[in-house]
Chain A
Amino acid sequence: MLMDGAKIKKIPLTKIAVHQDARFAFRFTQTLTPQCNISLVRACHTGTWSSMFPIVVKIENVFHVIGGWQGLLFSGEVEDQVFVVVLKNSTNADVRTISMRFAVSMLLSQTQKNKHNGAISELAEHRPELLSGLVFNKSFDTPRSFSYSLAPIDPKSVDTQRARINEERLDCLRSAK
């Protein structure tokens, strides 16, 4: 199996390159516009802003990324050394499949735009520690300001979205009448 014998390794950033066969998928994901301001996020245990480990194969002392490169994209914080998952064996066909699957997974995880800010605000409301800089490199006053800093939008729309989400959740009650 593909993941058999895989190991997590800490490697210098200078030894990372995108695999030739994953280049198209990588460049495709570079064209995606993130919904959130990623530059606000601190680097985490992986060495990048994302908690996902890049998947790599080692060829001639260079670690070629074939998937999970979310943390290497965009303008988020990246440390000089990052943790990666090193696969033991993979074919070129594997590289193409894994890289494309990753590009697709990035697309699939996009939140619906008319609920995006509401969801961010709700998360902060339930976990206020997010406002105080636990994950981000600055602190925020309110869930609403947190939401529009992360994904700029008219602040009032944050409230509108929250109200809409709540309304939808109450739909089942109304229909039960």
Chain B
Amino acid sequence: MTLETKHKLPALKNKSSKAHEKRRNKFGSSAKERISEAALIETVRYCEKHQDNPLASLALGSLLSGRTSTQLLSAEQKIELTGTGVAKLHGTWNIARTPILANPDMSVIPVEKPGYVLILEDTAARVLELKNQGVDVDECKKDLKSFLAGIRPSTQERVTPDTLSRVLNFQKHLFKLSNFDVSFIANEEKHVFSQNSYACFDAIKLFTKHADYMAQFVDMSLVRMFIETNVPADLCFGSPRVLTRDSVATFFNCIKVKLQWALLNRFDYENIHHWYSIYVINILQLATLHRPCDNIFRTIDKFDFVSKTVEIQDKPEIHTRILPLGERALSEIHEYVNYLEALQEQVRFDSPHVATELKKSLDGRANLFREWNKEGLLEGFSSLPEVFQGDTNNGSNWCRHFMISKLIDRGVNREAVNMFSGHRMLSEHSHEQTKSATFDDLRSVAAELDDIIADCVPMSVKDMANYMRGVSL
């Protein structure tokens, strides 16, 4: 083997692991690793027959939770027995810290961290017993494999620890469980479907769908009763950084008050520019779900008013993506450009340098959004307060967390939300034919974002160009 080919080996390995991941993420109902319903029924009966054997509970626990035996027995896996016949199987994600908001009138949606799923207490107790015995996880998996080998389904299928843990993934469509729901229930690594950590989502909906899935194997009446009587109606899991709808309204009301004040003091163009820019940038943040990053929108030519799209760059390295814009965002950017033209005319003589710089922005030779302070027009807007970078008061990146949560609440296709927010799955590229969402799906996300903005933003600004020029005759 030459030195050159040796160097190529890791790349080849990488390539095949990606292909493997792609297959794994796109499990079809006909995949050969799937166990048929008949074999599953026989497996459950077999476990019931050997209920004194803790391995039977481990197998059942894996089948119900979608977690592998290794995961269930790991030290990080917290199992909480409630004494009601139902146990909580906790997640192991490291969830972000809850922000401390500066404005007492604002609050985040409370979430329970890191979240849990419900399974039968009997099953969980036996798994816990195994854990407490300090069994070797690998040995236990081998024992489980041998235990499952005792199942002789009439279909001649082989039931293994791995096939059992995959059943949830194969059957998710039957119970309206999304990839993201399954990822949470099975406690997959956080980065696999990271949307779960960006969104705050309803726990009861998830519990109910999960209970529907489990009900095909075991009696779920205790779990359903627990959901009804012990789970608070507003219990949420996921991101602890999601502002309430009223807090977002409060945030924009603060901007409104500042902008009103600036507009009344008609001669302070810098202050008017400051607050109007903050308003427009925040609307665009809500409309594009972008990450906190310097100069996301860059120049005016990145906005395409014909195809109604914008190309944003929201990672420090080159990472651009084209997003559709809703009508609200388009209208705001249109108004802003008109305003800049009017401002350029107004300051032509009183601040010629600013006028020259504005011309550059309007010609696409400089960034469109720029802060204006005593030094003149700056290169960008990263130092503005009340926009994501400097916005520690409201929890940085709050726009993204808030909007993703709202979209999920509204039942928008989560794959499309994933692609829109730049959380592309490792196995997908937006140009692939086999991708989970199309550009039209992204347009429907943009329309939905428009609706959310209309619902949460209690202000709009119109005709700033006329304001700058004075009322026309």
Stretch at the interface among B121-129, B345-353, B381-389, B390-398: B345-353
Question: Interface code B245-286, partner A: CB below 8 Å = 1, 0 otherwise?
Answer: 000000000000000000000110100000000000000000
Using a CB-CB cutoff of 8 Å, which residues 422-473 of chain B contact chain A? 469-471, 473
Q: Does A27 contact B473, Cβ atoms closer than 8 Å?
A: no
Q: A17 in the interface, Cβ–Cβ < 8 Å? A: yes
Q: Is the CB of B350 within 8 A of A18?
A: yes
Out of B349, B351, B469, B473, name the residue touching A152 (CB < 8 Å).
B473
Q: Are A69 and B349 also in contact (CB < 8 A) when A37-B473, A151-B473 are?
A: yes
A72 to B266, CA, bound (A): 19
Give the distance in Å from the alpha carbon of A33 to the alpha carbon of B469 in the complex.
Answer: 9
Interface bits A1-19 vs B (CB < 8 Å: 1, else 0)? 0000000000000101110
- A16/B349 contact (C-beta < 8 A), A27-B266, A31-B266 known: yes
Minimal beta-carbon separation of A79 from chain B (angstroms): 14
Main secondary structure of the interface of B (DSSP, over half): loop
In the bound complex, residues from chain A placing their C-beta under 8 Å from that of B469 are: 75
When the two chains form the complex, which single residue of A23, A31, A34, A75 contacts B350, counting CB atoms closer than 8 Å? Answer: A23
Of the candidates A16, A23, A33, A72, which one forms a contact with B471 in the assembled complex, judged by CB atoms under 8 Å apart?
A33
- Contact: B266 with A26, CB < 8 Å? no
Q: Evaluate contact between A26 and B350: CB separation under 8 angstroms.
A: yes
Whole-angstrom distance from the CB of B46 to the nearest CB of chain A?
85
Q: Cα distance A155–B346 when bound, in Å?
A: 32
Q: Is the CB of B350 within 8 A of A17?
A: yes
Closest B residue to A62 using CB positions: B352
Measured in the bound complex, the distance between the Cα atoms of B349 and A69 in whole Å is 10
A100–B305 Cα distance when bound, in Å, is 44
CB <8 Å contact, A28 and B267: yes
Interface flag for A85 (CB, 8 Å): no
Q: Tell me the bound Cα distance from A30 to B269 in angstroms.
A: 12
| Chain B: CB-nearest residue to A23 | B350
A118 to B214, CA, bound (A): 87
Which B residue sits closest to A151, measured CB to CB? Answer: B473
Residues of B near A27 (CB, < 8 A) are 266-267, 269, 350
Would A24 and B267 count as touching, CB distance under 8 A?
Answer: yes
Q: Whole-angstrom distance from the CB of A94 to the nearest CB of chain B?
A: 18
Chain B hits for A75, CB < 8 A = 469
Per-position contact with A for B80-110: 1 when CB-CB < 8 Å, else 0? 0000000000000000000000000000000
Q: Give me 30 A-to-B residue pairs in the complex whose CB atoms sit less than 8 angstroms apart, sorted by A's number.
A: A14-B352, A16-B349, A16-B352, A17-B349, A17-B351, A17-B352, A18-B349, A18-B351, A23-B350, A24-B267, A26-B349, A27-B266, A27-B267, A27-B269, A27-B350, A28-B267, A30-B346, A30-B470, A31-B266, A31-B267, A31-B470, A32-B470, A33-B470, A33-B471, A33-B473, A34-B473, A69-B349, A72-B349, A75-B469, A151-B473
Residues of B within 8 A of A (CB): 266-267, 269, 346, 349-352, 469-471, 473
**Further contacts, 13 of them, CB under 8 A, given A33-B470, A37-B473:** A16-B349, A17-B350, A18-B350, A18-B351, A26-B350, A27-B267, A27-B269, A28-B267, A30-B470, A34-B473, A36-B473, A72-B349, A75-B469
3 smallest A-B Cβ distances: which pairs? A18-B350, A27-B267, A18-B349
